[in-house]
Amino acid sequence: MKYVLVTGGVVSGLGKGITASSIGLILKACGLRVTSIKIDPYLNTDAGTMSPFEHGEVHVLDDGGEVDLDLGNYERFLDIKLTRDNNITTGKIYQSVIDKERKGDYLGQTVQVVPHITDAIQEWIERVASTPVDGKEGPADVCVIELGGTIGDIESIPFIEALGQFSYRVGAGNFCLIHVSLVPVLTVVGEQKTKPTQHSVKELRSLGLAANILACRSTTELDGNAKKKLSRFCHVPIENIITLYDVSNIWRVPLLLRDQKAHEAILKVLNLICDTKEPALEEWTSRADLCDLLHEPVRIAMVGKYTGVADSYLSVLKALLHASVACHRKLCVDWVPASDLEDATREENPNAYKSAWKLLKAADGILVPGGFGDRGVEGKILSAKYAREKKIPYLGICLGMQIAVIEFARSVLGLHDANSTEFDPNTQNPCVIFMPEGSKTHMGGTMRLGSRRTYFQGASSKSAKLYGNQSYIDERHRHRYEVNPDMVLRLEEAGLAFAGKDENGNRMEIIELPGHPYFVGVQFHPEFKSRPGKPSALFLGLVAAASGPGGRSFEEKYQKE
């Protein structure tokens, strides 16, 4: 097994996740089998209870793991299926060591960070790295490990110590360290400044790790003088210094690495140069080129609670991008804060209210993603009502499906107090209820999580056709509330179609409005399994419906309304 460790220096947010994913992709394109691990030094057991404002979206895996969003990047770039164990956290490591201590596995010993915690980290890495994630038998050839945070952070010290020991134990030809660092350009003098990277590499060496390759983030390509200076002070060959400068779309990052022979540098360090071929990235290149050439827009209004942080809906955005490229449309996402659509905002902030409705009315399609809590719920309900009445293509995911059911019950059934017990525990018409198997005392890992099967109720629905007329599908879930089974018959009689149900027929998975160009709600999260070149069926349906003939410009749509 060969290991590639990706670390970051100077500042956070440099794109280590995309870099690690791109490295994995280019090695896979060379004919190697690749797996990935993300190390997050926080004390949380997993990302499940963290706010999207704090840490971006929670990515859900097939096995129900609630993990860091970077694992979503790995899955999309490498087209693999990871497990919860591919995301290592301080909480998981300490919990495993404490559990062993309580069982008596360390009887008579003083349990310490070194060697017990560091050994647990190394054992976890080796165990997970040998687990196949690409559907084939046997372990992968290379494991790409991303260490979260920035070198020098106090919480990552045990991991750095463990990785230093690990690199020594597996040997020089089996371990390659790529350090992602910032080379800023000061606008005053226009010079690329290498000192921050020099200090970051010095800090890395002081902790027992030496960089084999430098991946330097900058606005422009590094000039020769900057590379020479970095090579001299960081003890890295010039040919092993890669520039990760700004590109038109993230699909160009692997191509950037290929063009600078990054794969050759990595393979040389890992003694794999004779066992591989040139990276086969023709399909990837054509997709990146197509993405840049698209000019005819499709406008999707994203009506959400966390619209101020794009990473909160990262997988949704990527799924929309995959679908729009497949439909040969340039994706334009208009962020609509759900609470700005509500009547209360019209009184408190008329400009925000007018702006939100302007964006919604100008959209070719409306998407309401998942979320928790009651803030903005009435605004989401209003957006579903607008999409239903005005025949605007609509996709509701998780909560987005639930609010569509609530809106239908209010407007069509006349149940004006219809609601979810999540938002109104005392509602007389609970359209959405707490699932009986859920826990009301423990929040972490207690939802209905992971891959679950949905059976189509006939082949005539749009969703069934989009999925290729399969009898069932497996999609990933993350929810505590469900459509009230006692309300289903009344909703169906009023015209709402439940196109997909669980294996028992009691849990509603897909809703549709017959006669509407595209009005679909799903309890699951189709975005998590969307891939470049293999877009999610339901996102493809939304974008295709929104890209229909006779499209109007942004101004025309708003003026007409």
Phi, psi of 521 (to 5 degrees): -130, 140
- 389 an active-site residue? no
Q: Which amino acid is at 499?
A: A
d(CA 211, CA 194): 15
The full length of the chain comes to 561
What is the residue-wise DSSP string for 317-375?
Answer: HHHHHHHHHHTT-EEEEEEEEGGGGSHHHHHH-HHHHHHHHHHHHT-SEEEE----SST
- 332 an active-site residue? no
- 143 an active-site residue? no
- List the catalytic residue out of 143, 327, 398, 431: 398
DSSP code, position 115: I
d(CA 236, CA 287): 33
| Cis peptide, bond prior to residue 132, ω within 30 of zero | no
- List the catalytic residue out of 66, 161, 407, 527: 527
Give me the sheet containing 365-368, strands edge to edge. 330-337, 297-304, 365-368, 394-397, 519-522, 508-512, 497-501, 448-456, 472-479
d(CA 314, CA 70): 10
From 175, 193, 259, select the one nearest 10 (Cα to Cα).
193
From 6, 19, 5, 4, select the one nearest 217 (Cα to Cα).
19
- List the catalytic residue out of 59, 116, 479, 525: 525
Give the residue numbers annotated as catalytic, written as ranges. 398, 525, 527
